[in-house]
Structure 1
Amino acid sequence: MPGDRVISWPKLRTLLGVSRLSMPDAASAKAATGYERGTITPFGSTTSWPVIADERVRGREITLGAGEHGVAVAVDADAALAALDGTYADVTDPEAP
């Protein structure tokens, strides 16, 4: 998602067809992905997860965590979503001032 936006939990729940979502604790996140929280990337995860990108990044260069703290990779959003079989959707709101 663009840096000036935040996840819209109601929009994301609607898209996924669920009534509740929560972020995992650090140990659960590491067990599920193989990465520490703050370094999780959709590339190389121990489990294949659905990838949803905010529609506002379509056609842009984005940066993704690269599995280590302080390391990121810049990629074309469209190429990344295609490689990950991801989906674009309106899942964010403007960040509050």
Structure 2
Amino acid sequence: MSPDPTERVRSAAAERGLSIDIQERPAASSLIEAAGLLGLDPSEIIKTLVVKRSDDTYLFALIPGDRAISWPKLRAVVGVNKLKFPDADSALAATGYERGTIVPIGSHTAWPIFADERIVGRRIALGAGAHGYSLFVDADDLISAYGATVADISVESSGA
């Protein structure tokens, strides 16, 4: 495994024929700050949330930065009664990425992806596997390359 997580992301994207652009950016302490540094609206930055199922498997939920996960909606789409966020160490073990850098591309395990319908048709920014980097990709290409399930899985949020 490459010591540079962004190289793992690039390699995994290339294996799936997915065109991505990884850009270095100054460190940001929040999604709002990262959006400002990149000249983006917070809705254009997508949070990759690692979600744990009761059987100790995981999934990714892709949520626009100006919205929050809707647990009832996500449980209905996944078809389960219980989902939760894992602790930081479990998320790292499940994906190989630290919180704040998580991206489904190049994850240690190709967990299922559930993408909020609001990202369809947009160019989006995501974590890039390492702090101080952002990944840009066409959402439709990401959805197609990973066979993601698209659904309404978010709610309005008063903050990112």
2:130 paired with 1:76: no
> What is the CA deviation profile of residues 38-72 of structure 1, one whole-angstrom value per residue up to 9, with x for unaligned ones?
21110001101111111011100111111001211
2:127 paired with 1:65: yes
TM-score for the superposition, normalised by structure 2 = 0.58
List aligned pairs for 1:12-23, cutoff 5 A.
Answer: 12-23=74-85
Aligned length: 97
Higher relative contact order (CA 8 A, sep 6+): 1
Identity rate of aligned residues, in percent?
A: 58
Structure 1: tracts of 5 or more residues without a match: none
Q: Which runs of 4+ in 1 moved over 4 A?
A: none
Structure 2: tracts of 5 or more residues without a match: 1-62
| Greater percentage in strand | 2
2:88 paired with 1:49: no
Q: 1:55 is aligned with what amino acid?
A: E
Tell me the equivalent position of 1:25: 87
TM-score for the superposition, normalised by structure 1 = 0.93
Q: 1:10 is aligned with what amino acid?
A: P
Superposition RMSD on alpha carbons, in Å?
1.2
